[in-house]
Amino acid sequence: MIKPSKYLMAVTAVFAVCIIAFAGVSLSSDGAGDPYVISAPDDVGVVSQSYTKTITTSWMAIPNNPSTPYVTGASWMSLTSSNLSPGSGSPTFSLSGKPTAAGTYSCTIVVPVSATSSSMAVDLNINWTCKVTSSPVSYTVSYNSNGGSGSMSSHSTTSSLVLKANTFTAPANMEFSGWKANNSGSLLSAGASYTPVANTTMYAQWVASPPSSSGGSGDPIMLSFSDDIVLAGSSYNRELTYSWMYNPSPIGTVSVTPSWLSASVPVVSGSTSKITVTGTAPSVTGSYNVVITIPKGPSASSMVVDLIIKYTLDVSLTSTAYSVSFDPNGGSGVMPSLTVPAGNTISLPNSLFAPPSGKYFAGWKVNDTGSVLSAGSPFTPAGDTKLFAQWDSDGDGGGDGDDNDDGGLLGLLTYVLIFIIFLICVFLLFASRRTKKSNGSKKFKGGHKLG
């Protein structure tokens, strides 16, 4: 039979193991978490032929204290150089290699956080796909006027090509701004290098032409407003408010481009002026530079200058778009806002904010109310939305819809377990002492040893 003292030793050992395990869990701060993921353009390669690629990204995506980056997904590919020194231009990664076998390679540049980074920091993953063929494959790039007129010839390539200069005739009161592959994605300029991974159509992109000179002396006052969006073929109405001090005096005839918009004469109320912009959007989708010119009147002095108001208006197949912005909520730093077409769903990003001291990112709250949403959760905004970062000091975060996440519950249960074990140890300690005292009473009685 095991004596109570041995029970005490065994339980004490278990108690020590629990303490060590708990410390290992609660003190871990290796920056674990989902990486921040961005996508680079896909490209092509040919077996046994040289492959090169250069990727440039934003400093906002780079961890504050990065470790040495590396590339995965294709053993024949190597990262030949990277520029991660602040103040020396944009972060740039150069890759090269010779494909050894045909196939589709899912490649990733990993920029890991260093061991000394805070638990808030996460790795950066840059993903793209490289399609390697046994022999060169020719892809055709053609051009679409997208509301303009005229024609342009196509061209083919087995690697990359230079996008042609536009020769289409622009729609009325519009000018060429660039190309979009299959009418989606990033705007590409004429003369840019492009590597097709399939037969591709480049759609011309048109913006409103800038206004002609109003004839006023001196440089005009320029005001910029936030971008806007309107459903193709629908009515448009927007009020613009600014300081009355920007108005010329007297005011001439107000003009606006594009021609399908009109603008009211500024209405002064107190210290502000208001202009109402109205019109019916065309059925052709595109991006329009709205320019409202408020010129000085003929009798104005030579010191008075024109006022020009500008913003971008997208004519889209969706009725509207919402702004999703981010608030550090006690953290520090900045995150760029997102523009999400109505009805679209996004995956919530990881926080790029630096956390408050001793805290960890737990997720987001919509307008700082409701449940906590973890990074990566699907989110469909119902209007302009501000997401507030949520910070947790009791675990590594999670955002499962409750402020008391799994990490906090695990810590609480661990404390309870340790307390129970402590009580057991105290009980066994007293039981051991009582047993020894009892044995001593049986061994000696009246100075004689008991048989």
Residues 48 and 96 placed together within one structural domain of the fold: yes
What does the pLDDT look like over 253-270, one tens digit per residue?
999 999 999 999 999 887
> Is residue 114 assigned to a domain?
yes
Is the four-CA dihedral 398, 400, 404, 407 of positive or negative sign?
A: negative
Residues 300 and 381 placed together within one structural domain of the fold: no
Beta strands 77-83 and 92-97, pairing class: antiparallel
Phi, psi of 425 (to 5 degrees): -60, -45
Residues 287 and 355 placed together within one structural domain of the fold: no
Q: What is the mean pLDDT of the chain?
A: 79
Residues 44 and 111 placed together within one structural domain of the fold: yes
- Cα 37–39–42 angle (5° rounding)? 150
- Domain termination site, one of 290, 316, 342: 316
Rounded to whole angstroms, what are the CA distances from 56 to 61, 94, 186?
Answer: 11, 9, 14
The beta-carbon contacts of 113-118 under 8 Å, at least 24 apart in sequence, are 113/31, 113/63, 113/65, 113/66, 113/67, 114/63, 114/65, 114/66, 114/67, 115/30, 115/67, 116/65, 117/31, 117/63, 117/64, 117/65, 118/29, 118/31, 118/64, 118/354, 118/355
Residues 282 and 339 placed together within one structural domain of the fold: no
Comparison of pLDDT for 11 and 32, the residue scoring more:
11
Structural domain tally of the chain?
5
| pLDDT given for residue 402 in this prediction | 41
Question: Which structure tokens are listed for 151?
Answer: 């024609």
For the ranges 102-106, 173-177, 309-313, the maximum mean pLDDT occurs at 102-106
Residues 239 and 267 placed together within one structural domain of the fold: yes
Residue with tokens 């840019």: 192
> Is residue 116 assigned to a domain?
yes
Comparison of pLDDT for 9 and 59, the residue scoring more:
59
Q: Is it the case that residue 350 has pLDDT exceeding 90?
A: no
Cis-peptide, bond into residue 220, ω within 30° of zero: no
Question: Which structure tokens are listed for 76?
Answer: 């024949």
Q: Give every CB contact of residue 423 below 8 A, 6+ residues apart in sequence.
A: none
Comparison of pLDDT for 23 and 98, the residue scoring more:
98
Residues 363 and 309 placed together within one structural domain of the fold: no
How sure is the predictor about 27, in pLDDT bands with cuts at 50, 70 and 90?
very low
> Is residue 259 assigned to a domain?
yes
Lowest-pLDDT range, 26-30, 35-39, 189-193? 26-30
| pLDDT given for residue 405 in this prediction | 43
Residues 66 and 116 placed together within one structural domain of the fold: yes
Residues 285 and 337 placed together within one structural domain of the fold: no
> Is residue 401 assigned to a domain?
no
> Is residue 326 assigned to a domain?
no
CB 298 within 8 A of CB 252: yes
Comparison of pLDDT for 65 and 179, the residue scoring more:
179
> Is residue 88 assigned to a domain?
yes
Comparison of pLDDT for 192 and 440, the residue scoring more:
192
We report the CATH number of the domain holding residue 250 as 2.60.40.10
| pLDDT given for residue 282 in this prediction | 87
> Is residue 310 assigned to a domain?
yes
Closest listed residue to residue 270, CA positions, set 304, 305, 245? 245
Q: How many CB atoms lie within 10 A of CB 396?
A: 21
What does the alpha-carbon distance between residue 252 and residue 216 come to, in Å, rounded to a whole number? Answer: 11
| pLDDT given for residue 407 in this prediction | 44
Residues 277 and 291 placed together within one structural domain of the fold: yes
What does the alpha-carbon distance between residue 147 and residue 143 come to, in Å, rounded to a whole number? Answer: 12
Comparison of pLDDT for 334 and 136, the residue scoring more:
136
CB 197 within 8 A of CB 283: no
Percent of the chain with pLDDT strictly greater than 90: 24
Q: How many CB atoms lie within 10 A of CB 329?
A: 17
Residues 129 and 143 placed together within one structural domain of the fold: no
- Domain termination site, one of 395, 426, 446: 395
| pLDDT given for residue 396 in this prediction | 41
Q: Is it the case that residue 3 has pLDDT exceeding 70?
A: no
What does the pLDDT look like over 33-85, one tens digit per residue?
678 888 888 888 889 888 999 998 877 778 877 889 999 999 999 999 888 87
What does the pLDDT look like over 199-252, one tens digit per residue?
999 999 877 554 444 444 578 888 888 777 887 788 899 988 888 888 888 898
Closest listed residue to residue 79, CA positions, set 66, 67, 96, 62? 96
Residues 380 and 423 placed together within one structural domain of the fold: no
| pLDDT given for residue 404 in this prediction | 41
What does the alpha-carbon distance between residue 380 and residue 277 come to, in Å, rounded to a whole number? Answer: 29
Q: Is it the case that residue 306 has pLDDT exceeding 50?
A: yes
Lowest-pLDDT range, 106-110, 218-222, 434-438? 434-438
| pLDDT given for residue 397 in this prediction | 40
Residue with tokens 């990204």: 57
> Is residue 215 assigned to a domain?
no
Is the four-CA dihedral 72, 75, 77, 78 of positive or negative sign?
A: positive
Lowest-pLDDT range, 155-169, 287-301, 326-340, 422-436? 422-436
Give the range of the structural domain holding residue 291, as residue numbers without chain letter: 221-316
CB 167 within 8 A of CB 152: yes
- Domain termination site, one of 110, 133, 156: 133
How sure is the predictor about 6, in pLDDT bands with cuts at 50, 70 and 90?
low
